[in-house]
């Protein structure tokens, strides 16, 4: 129901907006529309018919089956939904059709407002080759590289040799880390060309690539811009986005610990120069790589709302979705550059349904059997589009939510993030909260000593989980023992190896969260315990241990996904490290290789098949 008392104080914009997206960003846009008194239309695939964004909207239209190219990327079906519902405008969120100039053109042809920039800006900034040339002309710092389209793998090798290794191979269209590969030699360039072009074609329908110098050990810092249709443009400070895996962001913060006021202003002014050069209107983001000497280089411009926009909203007080809607209707910006503050500090953790112990996060699918967000805590924001019972599907991005905490200082925001992660309950799928917690409590992160290489440098052998120190291990054992002994007493003194530990708590086992006080310090315990009696423990020692499977002669899928290519057949001899097949999961392609030289015995998969985690793909003799 529309709150008319709120509407009286807001300028008239649109009566009805269709959100051409799903999940948390669709929910996020709907919230602002409700605040502004605007009715909303959700679109959904058949498997999303009971999704949260569908329930939140005033109307909902099914636009096709689960695969994105048949639903959320199905322009014909979405245009039909617009006509059927009488929506006056479309907010595209991010991803899907948000930077698709053909979609924006089709909307304009039917006099439907696209809540974003015009097609000229989308085309100019959506093409990394053209955007780099425009940036140069606008006197924006750019990375050395080849400004044309790379057509073949051998041409890529020659260009890489001319630029000098390392180089970055990346898709000309799109973003989000898809279609990007770092190459350190000729062979990696050939392989990177193949994978990047395939990912680009799969994700964006455009397999064109470019190559530029890879800046080793940089920071990834972006500037949020906001511009209207009257020539006004602002920069809304920066976001530090250096904590990444597979070129995708994991933890972001605003502002950055690294920028000084002079560099911040220079980056902001160049971002605005670029926006004005393409007559940009709406919210957008200019991304930069920043080296250790605070030299910064244009990376790309995203002509849409960014995933991490909430942290900018926290430190500026602006609702970026509201600003986008106002601009799309033709209003001028209400603020001047001097009105844009940096109030406090905000941190965002991207909570994913993925296994952080496998390459820092391979997708995990399943149903959320238990789900509880830490929204009861002070200055915590959770942007999500799921609820208890929701399915995490192979068809879509595995993001569960964006967890945001805010404080007067960075230390305050980090302490709240640690508390929020401890109070977040997710059961039914594997999730990355253990990794997120390790990142935000790591001494290097706390000190601000970070770069895009943070994860491989801190965890060179992969993430192994939190390693308990002796005193923390005693506390955990004591907590488990006290929990087992009684649920009646308010406190227990338990003796474990190394001394006595005093544990007290409310012992409410109906909740998955158990607040305890251990030796005078408040802790939050999430528990799944198996406590054995003395006799059972003694007998358990005689149970045979499960022998790990010999994986040298078999290849199993490390994740759920789709087989894109199979490079071998029975009878072939493969060398160590040779590609056997390629699995695509969440639009990312992963090459699976042989661990030793061997002859192929059997192949149990073929291109186009869907496989689950642990499925047998290939047997070797």
Residues acting as catalytic residues: 304
534 SS3 class: helix
- Per the DSSP assignment, residues forming a β-bridge with 39 are 16
| Chain centroid, CA 497 distance in Å | 42
User: What is the rounded CA–CA span in Å between residue 621 and residue 619?
Assistant: 7
CB 386 within 8 A of CB 401: yes
- Per the DSSP assignment, residues forming a β-bridge with 349 are 251, 403
User: What is the rounded CA–CA span in Å between residue 149 and residue 171?
Assistant: 10
Q: Tokens for 604?
A: 């149990």
Q: Tokens for 403?
A: 């967890």
Q: Tokens for 343?
A: 């109030």
User: What is the rounded CA–CA span in Å between residue 581 and residue 555?
Assistant: 10
Q: Pairing relation of β-strands 354-355 and 362-363?
A: antiparallel
Q: Tokens for 109?
A: 């042809």
| Chain centroid, CA 92 distance in Å | 17
CB 621 within 8 A of CB 553: yes
What is the helix (H) or strand (E) element at residue 493, kind and residue range?
Answer: strand 491-496
Work out the angle at residue 159's Cα, subtended by the Cα atoms of residues 158 and 163, and round it to the nearest 5 degrees.
Answer: 120
User: What is the rounded CA–CA span in Å between residue 371 and residue 455?
Assistant: 27
CB 417 within 8 A of CB 350: no
User: What is the rounded CA–CA span in Å between residue 579 and residue 559?
Assistant: 17
* Among candidate residues 585, 543, 539, 578, the one with its CA nearest the CA of residue 562: 585
Burial class for 425, CB neighbours closer than 10 Å (0-12, 13-18, 19+):
middle
DSSP state of 192: H
CB atoms within 10 A of CB 168: 23
SS (H, E, C) 121-147: HHHHHHCHHHHHHHHHHCCCCECCEEE
Through-space distance between the first and last CA atoms of the chain, rounded to whole angstroms: 65
At CB < 8 A and 24+ separation, what contacts does 190-198 make? 190/153, 190/154, 190/156, 190/157, 191/591, 192/156, 193/150, 193/152, 193/153, 193/156, 193/169, 194/153, 195/582, 195/589, 195/591, 196/169, 196/170, 196/171, 197/171, 198/564, 198/582, 198/589
Work out the angle at residue 471's Cα, subtended by the Cα atoms of residues 466 and 475, and round it to the nearest 5 degrees.
Answer: 85
SS (H, E, C) 297-316: EEEEEECCCCCCHHHHHHHH
User: What is the rounded CA–CA span in Å between residue 492 and residue 518?
Assistant: 10
- Per the DSSP assignment, residues forming a β-bridge with 602 are 619
Alpha helices, H only, 399-504: 410-422, 433-441, 443-447, 454-458, 470-485
């Amino acid at each position: 129901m529309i709150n008319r008392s709120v509407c009286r104080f807001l300028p008239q914009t649109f009566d009805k907006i269709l959100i051409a997206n799903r999940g948390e960003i669709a929910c996020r846009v709907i919230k602002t529309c409700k605040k502004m008194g605007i009715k909303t239309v959700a679109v959904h695939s058949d498997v999303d018919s009971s999704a949260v964004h569908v329930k939140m909207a005033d109307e909902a239209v099914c636009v096709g089956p689960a695969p994105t190219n048949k639903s959320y990327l199905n322009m014909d079906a979405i245009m039909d939904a617009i006509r059927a519902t009488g929506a006056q405008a479309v907010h595209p969120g991010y991803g899907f059709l948000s930077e698709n100039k053909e979609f924006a053109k089709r909307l304009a042809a039917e006099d439907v407002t696209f809540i974003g920039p015009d097609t000229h800006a989308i085309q100019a900034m959506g093409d990394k080759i053209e955007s780099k040339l425009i940036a140069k002309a606008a006197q924006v710092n750019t990375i050395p590289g080849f400004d044309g389209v790379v057509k073949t793998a051998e041409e890529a090798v020659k260009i890489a040799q001319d630029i000098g290794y390392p180089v970055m191979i990346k898709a000309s269209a799109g973003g989000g880390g898809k279609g990007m590969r770092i190459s350190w030699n000729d062979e990696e360039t050939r392989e990177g060309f193949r994978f990047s072009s395939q990912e680009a074609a799969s994700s964006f329908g455009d397999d064109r690539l470019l190559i530029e110098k890879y800046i080793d050990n940089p920071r990834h810092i972006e500037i949020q811009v906001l511009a209207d249709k009257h020539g006004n443009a602002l920069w809304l400070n920066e976001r530090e986005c250096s904590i990444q895996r597979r070129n995708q962001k994991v933890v972001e913060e605003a502002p950055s610990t690294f920028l000084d006021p002079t560099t911040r202003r220079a980056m902001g002014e160049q971002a605005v120069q670029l926006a004005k050069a393409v007559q940009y209107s709406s919210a957008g983001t200019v991304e930069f790589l920043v080296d250790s000497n605070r030299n910064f280089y244009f990376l790309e411009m995203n002509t849409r709302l960014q995933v991490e926009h909430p942290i900018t909203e926290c430190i500026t007080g602006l609702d970026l979705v509201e600003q986008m809607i106002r601009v799309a209707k033709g209003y001028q910006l209400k603020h001047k550059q001097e009105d844009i503050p940096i109030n406090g500090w905000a941190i965002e953790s991207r909570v994913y349904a993925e296994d952080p112990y496998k390459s820092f996060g391979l997708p995990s699918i399943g149903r959320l059997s238990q789900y509880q967000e830490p929204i009861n805590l002070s200055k915590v924001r959770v942007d999500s589009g799921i609820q208890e019972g929701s399915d995490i599907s192979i068809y879509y991005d595995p993001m569960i939510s964006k967890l945001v905490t805010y404080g007067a200082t960075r230390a305050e925001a980090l302490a709240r993030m640690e508390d929020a992660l401890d109070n977040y309950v997710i059961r039914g799928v594997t999730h990355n909260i253990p990794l997120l917690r390790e990142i935000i409590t790591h001494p290097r992160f706390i000190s601000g000593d970070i770069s895009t290489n943070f994860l491989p440098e801190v965890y060179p052998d992969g993430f192994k989980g939190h390693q308990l120190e002796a005193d923390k291990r005693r506390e955990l054992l004591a907590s488990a023992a006290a929990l087992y002994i009684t649920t009646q007493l308010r406190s227990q003194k338990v003796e474990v190896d190394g001394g006595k530990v005093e544990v007290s708590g409310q012992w409410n086992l109906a909740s998955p969260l158990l607040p305890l006080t251990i030796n005078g310090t408040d802790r939050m315990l999430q528990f799944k315990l198996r406590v054995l009696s003395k006799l059972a423990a003694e007998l358990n020692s005689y149970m045979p241990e499960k022998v790990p499977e010999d994986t040298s002669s078999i290849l199993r899928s490390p994740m759920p996904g789709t087989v894109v290519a199979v490079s071998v057949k029975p009878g072939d001899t493969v060398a160590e490290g040779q590609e056997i097949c390629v699995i695509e999961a969440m639009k990312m392609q992963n090459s699976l290789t042989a661990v030793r030289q061997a002859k192929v015995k059997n192949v149990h998969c073929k291109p186009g098949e869907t496989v689950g985690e642990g499925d047998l793909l290939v047997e070797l003799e």
